[in-house]
């Protein structure tokens, strides 16, 4: 896979030329607060970036850079990340502040889920969100995720979600009918 294309977005594997914007996004304390993580310095961002690139090369899918199709403007990231501590693939997404409240999250999430279930053969995907991140929780619910726990790694405030392929098929067919 090279890219996922939606009505307004192109989601593609990260390229080296994306690193500066990636490092800036992951250094933003407000964005990181929504993930229960601290802002990253350049070295930490480099490690994560290289991990995303490496995982994509190994698995053929993973975290994707999200760009506006009309302007090639960097919007954020969305994709799947394998977590041993979660027992499988988890959905991740981060939207830059200037692109909040424009519907990009749900648009990207639905594209990633469709690809994962329809083309990559996954049967289950998880997601984790902080309970105070109401926008993210709503995106997960709209995408069909079901909350399964209110803690993760013994950290209170994390909400854990699960989505199976069979439930995704039902949810996506309902969306298509609307």
Ramachandran bin of 12, using left for φ above 0, alpha for ψ from -120 to 50, beta for the remaining angles: beta
Percentage of the residues of the chain whose pLDDT score is greater than 90? 68
Find the distance separating the first CA and the last CA of the chain, reported in whole Å: 29
pLDDT digits 0-9 by tens, 143-177: 999 999 886 667 778 899 999 999 999 988 776 65
Q: What is the pLDDT of residue 34?
A: 62
Range of the domain at 71: 4-177
Give how many domains the chain has, as a whole number: 1
Averaged pLDDT for residues 65-77: 96
**CATH number for the domain harbouring residue 11:** 3.40.630.30
Specify the pTM.
Answer: 0.91
On whether the CB atoms of residues 12 and 3 are closer than 8 A, the answer is yes
Q: How far, in Å, CA of 27 to CA of 72, rounded?
A: 22
On whether the CB atoms of residues 125 and 88 are closer than 8 A, the answer is yes
């Amino acid at each position: 896979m090279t890219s996922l294309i939606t009505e307004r977005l192109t989601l593609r594997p990260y390229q080296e030329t994306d690193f500066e914007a990636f490092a800036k996004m992951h250094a933003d304390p407000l964005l990181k607060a929504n993930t229960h993580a601290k802002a990253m310095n350049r070295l930490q961002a480099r490690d994560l970036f290289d991990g995303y690139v490496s995982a994509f090369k190994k698995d053929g899918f993973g975290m994707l850079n999200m760009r506006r199709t009309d302007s090639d403007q960097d919007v954020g990231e969305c994709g799947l990340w394998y977590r041993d501590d979660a027992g499988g693939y988890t959905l991740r997404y981060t939207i830059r502040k200037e692109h909040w409240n424009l519907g990009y999250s749900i648009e990207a999430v639905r594209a990633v889920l469709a690809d994962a279930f329809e083309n990559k053969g996954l049967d289950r995907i998880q997601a984790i969100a902080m309970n105070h991140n109401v926008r993210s929780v709503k995106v997960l619910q709209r995408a069909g995720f079901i909350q399964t726990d209110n803690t993760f790694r013994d950290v209170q405030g994390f909400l854990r979600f699960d989505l199976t392929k069979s439930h995704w098929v039902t949810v996506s067919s309902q969306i298509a009918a609307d």
